[in-house]
Structure formats: structure tokens, C-alpha cells
Amino acid sequence: MVMFMQAGFALVESGCCRAKNVQNILLKNLTDVCIGTIGWWISGWAIAYGGPMSDDGFLENGFMGTEQWFGVGFVNYAEDGKFEPTTGMLNWFFQWAFCSAAATIVSGGVAERVNFGGYCLFSFTMTAFVYPVIVAWTWGYGWLASINRTGFMDFAGSGVVHMTGGIGALMGAIIAGPRAGRFQHPEEFGPHSLPLITMGTFILWFGWYGFNCGSTLGLSEIKAGFMAAQVAMNTTIAAATGGLVVFVLRLAMTKKYDIGGFCNGILAGLVSITAPCGNVECGSAFAIAIIGGLVYQGSSSLLKKLRVDDPIDAFAVHGACGAWGVLAAALFDWGNGFDYHHGWSGFGCVMEDGACAKGAGGDALAANLLEVVMIALWSGFWTTLIFLPLRFGGFLRVSDEDQDAGLDAVKHSPTKAYCLDINSTQVTGIAVQKVRPVGS
């Protein structure tokens, strides 16, 4: 289900951009998954989860794993020539889907003006090193997991996955610069296919149940089943609420129905609930999504005012709402105010000396705030380190002439994503109105 989200990303991103660049968008989505797979296999898993682990269950060096490169160690060989598999392959596959999602988020932020070769370099580095280190700090039981008595709380990755990709998208958009003519002729840069955006949004929403509910990591006990059900309910409420909030906001602002805004609002609600879905009740999920919708709209408007060209609002949806989701996991935890904290304990509280730890909510907020800061610094630093030399060297950005012609026509064969000539006055013998799509 998480892997199928790649289809959702592909539809949303290609729909948001102009028809003349659809193939180029899809190419980046395909290579994100394929290059990401190789990066995750070579070093990503080893850095994120490879160990070695200390006796107390935390990563020995606290920073990154140093074992199981290329999947070595996933099978145990016995002296009699037989072998026994471990759970390594199962865990590798599940976490691979999350890794490729983090990289794909960035492709939308730099769409329609970045060279393929430079983007491939970034995609490999993101999946082989940048994202895995963040995982090692958090889900891999690194230093953020043991920073204090509660550690961080990010159930399914508002910060680990979405904010990592969202910050990368922001820095990539800034360094690549806006598409040629984006702010001089904004009317030419509208989405070319709202049906694709809508279908992609529904696919992402569906896949999010694998993303969030699947992060219970098992259903062998009834407690885990109850948790998965709680997560599903929170996820559903947040998605619906986020979409409605942004839809109403856009209606109030423009007096028009904005389907694209509705879709991004749904995604904003989903990103916002991804971290706290396992430790908040449904009323809190509703409130978190309302704030998430406001965070999305505010950050999207701010970037446009600052003339940062993010074609699919990747930072506003994944970066800004991802940061909000991490903070919400501490602020809305279903413990007794800030006196108790549940976090990873789910239906139970964090224990200390045989009782619920007093004042643990403050520790949780500090740990989650630190997670937001460190992800922003780490993802932002490495994205800058990769993209900036490429920009100065002239290898990052496609020429304005090629952008005007369309990357599909210049770089791809065939030269069009759609076989149907929608500029034609005749289609299979049926007369149609001549339509020239915006930005075609």
C-alpha cells in the first residue's frame, strides 16, 4: 500500500504541471523508485537499521548503523550447509517504501526546470545516506530516541519522511530558481489536469492507511489491533478535515471552488496526523487537521509572496505540515495534560519508578522540537551541498529555451505525453471545440 503511493505522487505531480512536461515528471518519479531501491539496498538500510545495537536496545554509536551493507546478514548460514532467513528482508521491504516516498516529495518541488542527471545524483544521495541517517537517529533507536526519558514521538513519519522530503523540496526550489516566466506570466502555469490530481490524491489517501496503520508493525496482539483501528480513525478524520478547511479558505478568498486546493488540504491533514496518529484521540485529530490546513495555506501563500516556485506545494504540504505534525504529537498527546505522556506507549503512559512519569509532557515537547530542528538542518544542508555546486556549474537547471519548448519535446521520445492532439478540431470524426491548454 505504501509503495502504491508512488502512483499517487506521479498523478498529482504530473497533473499539477503543464502538459508539455508530463513525461519528464513521470521520469523522475520512476527513477526515484528505482534509484532509491539501489541506494536503500547498498547503504540505506545499513545506515538506518544495520546496527550494531547496545545491550539496552539503542544504536551503539547513536548516529548511524555500520552493518548489513548490501543486505549482508539477512540470512544466517549454519555449519551443516543449511541456512535460516531472518526478519531482515521483511523489514527492508517495508522501510524501503518509506524511503522512496521521501525522495519523491523532492521531485515535485523542482519540477519542470531541473536536469535529469543532476536530479538522479540527488535521488541516490537522499536514499543512500541523507534520509537513512535521520531514520537512524529516530526509528533506528539512535540519539533522538534516547535524548531524555520520553524520546521523540513520530509514529509514522511526519518529520522522518515528510519533513525530510519537504525541506529538500524547499531548498531545491530555491537553488534551482523559478521556472522561466513563472512570476511574470502566472496565468500560463496552471495545472493541466485536475482529474489526475484528484485521482492521485485518492490513491495517496488509500496508501496512507498502509503508511500509518502499517506502522503498528504487527497485529499479533489485540492491543496492536486496537491501535491500528485508532490510527485508521484518526487518519480518516484528519484527511477529511484538512481538505474541508482549505476548500473553505480558498472559497472565502476567491469566491470560487478550488479542487486543487481541496486535494492539497486533504494531503496536509494526512501529513499533520502522521506523527501523532498513535497517541491522540479523535477530537484531537480533528483539531490537528484544522491547524494543519491553516499551516498549509499560510506557508503556500508565503512562498508565493517570496517568489519561491514550488509547483506542487511540496514544502507547504510535506515540510510545513510535517513539522506541525511532529509538534502536535507532543502537544496533543492523550496523557493527562503535560503531567503524563503516552507517546510510543500508546494506550499506556511513560513509566518511571513503577508509575506514570510526572512532567513527561515537557520532555516530549523538547525532544520533538529538537527533531524538527535537526531534520531541517540535516536535510537542508545536504540538499544545498548537492544542488548548489550543480547550479553554479550549470548542470542543474534546464535552459529557458528548453523550458519554453517543453521538456517532453526536447528530451523525450515520443515528444508528447498524450497521443491525442487536443489542439485538433476533429477527434475520431467527432467535431469538438478547439482548446489550447494553458501552458501547452
Q: Please indicate, yes or no, if residue 170 is contained in any of the structural domains.
A: yes
List phi, psi (to 5°) of 356.
Answer: -60, 130
Query: What string of DSSP letters covers 397-437?
Result: BPPHHHHHH-HHHHH-SSS-S-SS-TT-SEETTEE------
The number of beta carbons lying within 10 Å of the beta carbon of residue 198 is 18
Q: Please indicate, yes or no, if residue 93 is contained in any of the structural domains.
A: yes
Domain that holds residue 213: 5-411
Residues 6 or more apart in contact with residue 186 via CB below 8 angstroms: none
> Angle at CA 108, nearest 5°, toward 94 and 285?
60
Residues 6 or more apart in contact with residue 120 via CB below 8 angstroms: 31, 35
Q: Please indicate, yes or no, if residue 180 is contained in any of the structural domains.
A: yes
State how far the alpha carbon of 226 is from the alpha carbons of 221, 347, 366, in Å. 9, 9, 28
Q: At what angle do helices 360-392 and 321-331 cross, to 10 degrees?
A: 170
Q: What is the residue-level pLDDT of the chain in tens, covering all 440 positions?
A: 999 999 999 999 999 999 999 999 999 999 999 999 999 999 999 999 999 999 999 999 999 999 999 999 898 887 777 888 888 999 999 999 999 999 999 999 999 999 999 999 999 999 999 999 999 999 999 999 999 999 999 999 999 999 999 999 999 999 999 999 999 999 999 999 999 999 999 999 999 999 999 999 888 889 999 999 999 999 999 999 999 999 999 999 999 999 999 999 999 999 999 999 999 999 999 999 999 999 999 999 999 999 999 999 999 999 999 999 999 999 999 988 788 999 999 899 999 988 999 999 999 999 999 999 999 999 999 999 999 999 999 999 999 999 999 999 999 999 999 876 555 444 444 444 444 444 44
Q: Please indicate, yes or no, if residue 423 is contained in any of the structural domains.
A: no
Q: Output the domain CATH number for residue 51.
A: 1.10.3430.10
**Cell numbers placing 176:** 534551482
Q: Please indicate, yes or no, if residue 53 is contained in any of the structural domains.
A: yes
Q: Please indicate, yes or no, if residue 436 is contained in any of the structural domains.
A: no
Q: Is the dihedral of CA 113, 115, 120, 122 positive or negative?
A: negative
Q: Please indicate, yes or no, if residue 248 is contained in any of the structural domains.
A: yes
Query: What string of DSSP letters covers 355-395?
Result: EEPTTHHHHHHHHHHHHHHHHHHHHHHHHHHHHHHHHHTT-
Q: Indicate the number of domains in the chain.
A: 1
Q: What secondary structure, in 3-state letters, does 222-252 show?
A: HHHHHHHHHHHHHHHHHHHHHHHHHHHHHHH
Residue 85: asked if its preceding bond is cis (omega within 30°), the reply is no
Residue type, 380: G
Distance CA(64)–CA(122), nearest Å, equals 20
Distance CA(20)–CA(2), nearest Å, equals 29
Q: Please indicate, yes or no, if residue 438 is contained in any of the structural domains.
A: no
